Amino acid sequence: MSLRNTLASATALSLVMGAGAFAEEITVATVNNADMIVMQELAPQWEEATGNTINWVVLEENVLRQRTTQDISTNGGSFDIMFIGAYETPIWGANGWLEPLNDFADDESYDLDDIFQLVRNGLSDTDGNLYAVPLYSETSFTYYRTDVFDEKGIAVPEGQPTYEEFKEMAAAAHDPDNGIYGTCQRGKAGWGENMAFVGTMANAFGARWFDMEWQPQLDSQEWNNAITYYVDLMQNYGPPGSSSNGHNENRALFKDGKCATWVDATSAATDVKNPDTSSVADVTDFFKAPQQVTDKGTGWFWSWALAIPASSQKKDVAKDFLKWATSKEYFELVGETKGWVAVPSGTRQSVEEDPRRLEAAPFAATIVDAILSVDPADPTAEPVPYTGVQFVAIPEFQGIGNYVGQQVAAALAGQQSVEEALANSQQFAVREMTKAGYIK
Amino acid sequence: MARAISTKRKSVNTAIAGTLGFLMFFPILWILILSFKTEEDAIRAPLQILFDSGWTLDSFAAVQARSDYFKHFSNSVIISVGSTLIGLMIAIPAAWSMAFVPSKNTKNVLMWMLSTKMLPPVGVLVPIYLIFRDTGLLDSRFGLTIVLTLMNLPIIVWMLYTYFKEIPGEILEAARMDGASLREEVLYVLTPMAIPGMASTVLLNIILAWNEAFWTLNLTAAKAAPLTAFIASYSSPEGLFYAKLSAASIMAIAPILIMGWFSQKQLVRGLTFGAVK
Amino acid sequence: MSTKASRSAARLMISPAVILLLMWMIVPLVMTVYFSFLRYNLLSPGATPWAGWDNYYWFFTDPSFKDAIWNTLALVGGILLITVIGGIGFALLLDKPMFGTGVIRIMVIAPFFVMPTVSALVWKNMFFNPVNGIFGNIATSLGFQPIDFFAEIPLLSIIFIVSWMWLPFATLILLTALQSLDQEQLEAAEMDGANWGNRFWFIMLPHLARAITVVILIQTIFLLSVFAEILVTTNGGPGTATTNLTYLIYVSSLLQFDVGMGSAGGVIAIILANIVAIFLMRMIGKNLDA
């Protein structure tokens, strides 16, 4: 131990002597999404300007979520900054695990009010304390291939189609012999994967996770209609292997020109419409995510945001980086170096109204409209005791969502019937809610 | 009376074994090829990849830009070699006493040691994480080395024990008669005789420690993260990623693969676990 | 030969290993057992009241529990079967005279050096992927519908991947054992007119018995806790098709962060592992004079 201490202090000493007196080293846990990788590429500019250094821990989404939750809930202090989502932020904030960022409002050059109110609300607790600042926000909408629709004579819907109409489009476009599948949707199990799409689809079919007494509703006719439709759609008009395709797999397939339609995150549009990274940039357009019996909760709401754990020892430096990474200047920097089409979307009003942005990405306005039309507080046809469109903002939801996701994936893979999947899901949800004390 | 083996027989054997060997090796060969392709080429049909595409180092550069390979590499080396050496220091005396001064319980102790390896790591992660947090060992190479030492100690003890048992006790006794102390006996008589066995023990444990992916991922963040963490950011796709995944995979497994190849004779001879009489 | 002095020296020398392993085993074990009686969820901070046997009740009645036990056994059994039989085959083959022995041997044992995460990623993406994977490509070019491995045969796919990694290990140990076989004995049997089958059954296989035992023992220890391969490829699904006990505990303690229930699962897994250990010890006892 004493050897180790000597070594440690020697290292610390050399660090202090090597860099400026106030230079700090911070550890950032991030997910391997395109926008975060761009941030990692640009971060050396911040490092040079401040003299601080960043240790990046780049993890895949599920691993990231497990590692950060484990660390923050045990007060481990391994990370100074974490990328977290709209689901975790209010829950963790309310637990006192995150450093409040209310003082960002005092910084005039940062201009907190420029960040969309809806997004800030999603990253605050019920008392209005802000716990994270967004890099990008998203809802879901439908990507479609204009060339395929033209060729097959499919009419592009005006406004919001129904899922029944959507199925007809997928059927007409489906042409596997020529490498085009009618539709690509998420099938990989996970509350943030298949259940994000399935959740919004269930909302459209009039389903809800819980009634006002927190009784799970997964055995309802509405859920049955939704999942039956989903399995039928994917088995007939989806690509092979769809039960293991998540967002990233489908994005790759769509960009590769293998899908005619795809209902997924608006944030992927900057990538899909970027000719440098996509083979279908010129032949992709969008319409709203379909509705069915209701148009409530048919597009989800999500935001990837930066937060500082309360256990961090370097909060000031971390705050400085947070401000830089979500500032107007940062978005400007991305626009200048990576092109204005690649700027993260749905965060700042000034960015979305910037003429350079509108010229490079004429679709950006559609996306902002779509995001701002989401209401996480009123996501379903029938009243619910929770907020969240594609998730339920309670800690127990991760477990339930993952389990239901697995059951739906098993139904999609043909390993069990829709009825079995939903019966198992209902049983599991009742167990979990009983265990957690919601159901007395 | 050795029989002459016909060249034809030998050729047939070579063909069969060569084909099977190639099939076993093919996945590694394939990612080696893909790692030198562009992303667009890497998802084309296999024959096109082989005969109709260029070569590039882009993927390696992209992987290096995302996370510093050499930092992760040196962590892997320090942790796997360190844990093996510490393990040896603890295991040699233990194996000595079990082999040369056996008691009724020797076999039970050995089996008990092995059974500690059956603890499911996921079941005890939270307790260990809390202990590490309170002792400041989170994200430290020292802490990780300790954990991997304990993980592999039973295997080291067992392997050494079986090698020591092969050494005739008379030789040790003769050394003792000549006035060698216990320390000298172990250090100068026993250890040199057991070198081949120890070499394969060391090799196997470095391999096991190098490839350990649960503790190394969960107890580290940035400073102590070895190559298993390096690869963890590639476990879900981002756009086209086969070439980058291949490059990262090759970078993560190459050092241990090369070490294994150079020492394969040693491994083939030494991995007996007492199975050869 | 053991004098009183050397016996006490022996006890002294074995003690560091024993004490360290005892601590490694007992400290987390005691904490795990303690946690398993608490209502302790990391996501709901605050008090952790005594929960009695609740966590055990919830774990045992988990709808995935039975599947997990079955999958664990199927995984271990399936992989052992493939690697032992395949390993004997490879060992017999590699023991024969041939050209380029070194190169061929290297190719056969190479998979053993590959990290589980890497091997799972490579098989999942480059081979099993029905659209871009090699198997899918071959099937499509021959006019067949590609197999969607992780949806249609998930458990078999995992068994395949893990077997690929452990087959070289079994081959190595069995080959070592085979090379120590007395050639003259084999030749004498051949002179006496014993055919290959008889020589294999009556001479080689008995000679390999100890090595096979070792392969089974060591692999069982590692295979009981197969985890990375499942996490990377199927996440335990579809449904519970590839959820083994280790993965189920992971779900409770690290996805739902229910430390109490995860700990109860851990205790159950430890008990089951010890039952397997006792079983193995009996088996080893016959074959290994440890």
Question: How close B124 comes to chain C (CA, Å)?
Answer: 6
Rounded Cα–Cα distance for residues B194 and A199 (Å):
63
**pLDDT 10s digits, C4-61:** 666 777 777 778 888 888 888 788 888 889 999 998 888 887 778 888 898 999 888 8
pTM over 0.90: no
Angle between helices B242-262 and B7-34 (to 10 degrees): 140
**pLDDT 10s digits, B137-152:** 999 999 999 999 998 9
Contact call for residues C84 and C215 (beta carbons, < 8 A): yes
Helix (H, G, I), strand (E, B), or coil: what is residue A262?
strand
- CATH for C92: 1.10.3720.10
Superfamily of domain B68-232: MetI-like (1.10.3720.10)
**Chain B neighbours among A 365-404 (CB < 8 Å)?**
none
Q: Write out chain B residues lying below 8 Å of C18, CB-based.
A: 94, 109, 113
> Looking at the structure, do residues A92 and A180 belong to the same domain, yes or no?
no
- For residue A79, which of A44, A12, A42, A30 has the smallest C-alpha distance? A30
- Evaluate the CA torsion angle C201, C205, C207, C210 in order and state its sign: negative
Q: Write out chain A residues lying below 8 Å of B240, CB-based.
A: 252, 255-256
> Looking at the structure, do residues A182 and A283 belong to the same domain, yes or no?
yes
Structure tokens at A177: 């012999």
**pLDDT 10s digits, A392-404:** 999 889 889 999 9
The single residue listed with the structure tokens 């960002």 is A104
Residue B269 CA neighbour count, 13 Å, CB half = 10
| Residue B275: per-residue pLDDT | 66
What are the percentages of helix, strand and coil residues in chain A, rounded to 5?
A: 50, 15, 35
- For residue A209, which of A334, A338, A297, A301 has the smallest C-alpha distance? A297
Question: How close B152 comes to chain C (CA, Å)?
Answer: 10
Structure tokens at C160: 């395949």
Q: Inter-chain contact A410–C129, Cβ cutoff 8 Å?
A: no
Q: How far is CA A342 from CA A39, A271, A273, C207, in A?
A: 12, 7, 9, 66
CB atoms within 10 A of CB A338: 18
Structure tokens at B24: 């076993």
Q: Inter-chain contact A55–B223, Cβ cutoff 8 Å?
A: yes
The single residue listed with the structure tokens 């052992």 is C80
Mutate to test the interface with B, among C2, C56, C121, C167 (most CBs of B within 10 A): C121
Question: Is residue A201 one of the residues assigned to a domain?
Answer: yes
> Looking at the structure, do residues A264 and A358 belong to the same domain, yes or no?
no
Rounded Cα–Cα distance for residues A17 and A20 (Å):
7
Question: How close B219 comes to chain A (CA, Å)?
Answer: 9
- Cα three-residue angle A239-A245-A246, rounded to 5 degrees: 140
Contact call for residues A376 and A405 (beta carbons, < 8 A): no
Taking residues B235-253, report their average pLDDT: 85
Question: Is residue C261 one of the residues assigned to a domain?
Answer: no
Question: Is residue A52 one of the residues assigned to a domain?
Answer: yes
Which one of A343, A362, A381 terminates a domain? A362
- CATH for A277: 3.40.190.10
Structure tokens at C146: 């590609």
Q: Which domain holds residue A148?
A: 140-300+372-435
Question: Is residue C59 one of the residues assigned to a domain?
Answer: no
Question: Is residue C220 one of the residues assigned to a domain?
Answer: yes
Q: Write out chain A residues lying below 8 Å of B130, CB-based.
A: 74
> Looking at the structure, do residues A130 and A250 belong to the same domain, yes or no?
no
Mutate to test the interface with A, among C38, C40, C42, C43 (most CBs of A within 10 A): C43
> Looking at the structure, do residues A336 and A200 belong to the same domain, yes or no?
no
> Looking at the structure, do residues A210 and A286 belong to the same domain, yes or no?
yes
Interface A-C, measured as beta-carbon pairs within 8 A, has a size of 108
Number of domains present in the structure of chain A = 2
> Looking at the structure, do residues A133 and A259 belong to the same domain, yes or no?
no
Question: How close A141 comes to chain C (CA, Å)?
Answer: 25
Q: Which domain holds residue C127?
A: 65-242
Question: Is residue C56 one of the residues assigned to a domain?
Answer: no
Helix (H, G, I), strand (E, B), or coil: what is residue B106?
helix
**Which ranges of chain A have pLDDT less than 70?**
1-22
Contact call for residues B126 and A74 (beta carbons, < 8 A): yes
Rounded Cα–Cα distance for residues A77 and A74 (Å):
8
pLDDT above 70 covers a percentage of chain B that reads 94
Q: Inter-chain contact A415–C238, Cβ cutoff 8 Å?
A: yes
Alpha helices (runs of H) in B101-168, residue ranges in sequence order: 106-116, 121-135, 141-166
Alpha helices (runs of H) in chain C, residue ranges in sequence order: 4-35, 54-60, 65-95, 101-109, 116-122, 134-141, 149-152, 154-179, 183-191, 196-199, 205-223, 228-233, 245-250, 259-287
Q: Inter-chain contact B131–C113, Cβ cutoff 8 Å?
A: no
Q: What are phi and psi of B45, to 5 degrees?
A: -65, 145
> Looking at the structure, do residues A350 and A270 belong to the same domain, yes or no?
no
**Chain C neighbours among A 337-396 (CB < 8 Å)?**
395-396
Rounded Cα–Cα distance for residues C106 and A292 (Å):
60
**A155 at interface of B, judged by CB pairs closer than 8 A:** no
| Residue B267: per-residue pLDDT | 77
**pLDDT 10s digits, B23-67:** 999 999 999 999 999 988 888 888 888 888 889 999 999 889 888
Q: Write out chain B residues lying below 8 Å of A256, CB-based.
A: 43, 240
Domain ranges of chain B: 7-60, 68-232
| Residue B7: per-residue pLDDT | 86
> Looking at the structure, do residues A347 and A406 belong to the same domain, yes or no?
no
Q: Write out chain C residues lying below 8 Å of B235, CB-based.
A: 117, 121, 232
| Residue C285: per-residue pLDDT | 63
| Residue A19: per-residue pLDDT | 42
**Chain C neighbours among B 253-272 (CB < 8 Å)?**
253, 256-257, 259-261, 264-265, 267-272
Strands A25-31 and A81-85: parallel
Q: Inter-chain contact A73–C241, Cβ cutoff 8 Å?
A: no
**B48 at interface of C, judged by CB pairs closer than 8 A:** no
Number of domains present in the structure of chain C = 1
| Residue A109: per-residue pLDDT | 92
Interface A-B, measured as beta-carbon pairs within 8 A, has a size of 80
Question: How close A350 comes to chain C (CA, Å)?
Answer: 37
> Looking at the structure, do residues A425 and A283 belong to the same domain, yes or no?
yes
Strands A140-145 and A284-288: antiparallel
> Looking at the structure, do residues A209 and A234 belong to the same domain, yes or no?
yes
> Looking at the structure, do residues A74 and A156 belong to the same domain, yes or no?
no
Rounded Cα–Cα distance for residues B141 and B82 (Å):
9
Question: Which residue has better confidence, C190 or A228?
Answer: A228
Task: Write the CB contacts of B217 (distance below 8 Å, at least 6 apart in sequence).
Answer: A63, A67, B225, B228, B229, B232
Contact call for residues C128 and C157 (beta carbons, < 8 A): yes
Per-residue 3-state assignment (H helix, E strand, C coil) for A10-53:
HHHHHHHHHCCCCCCEEEEEEECCHHHHHHHHHHHHHHHHHCCE
Question: How close B64 comes to chain C (CA, Å)?
Answer: 17
Amino acid at A264: D
Q: Which 8-state DSSP code applies to residue C37?
A: T
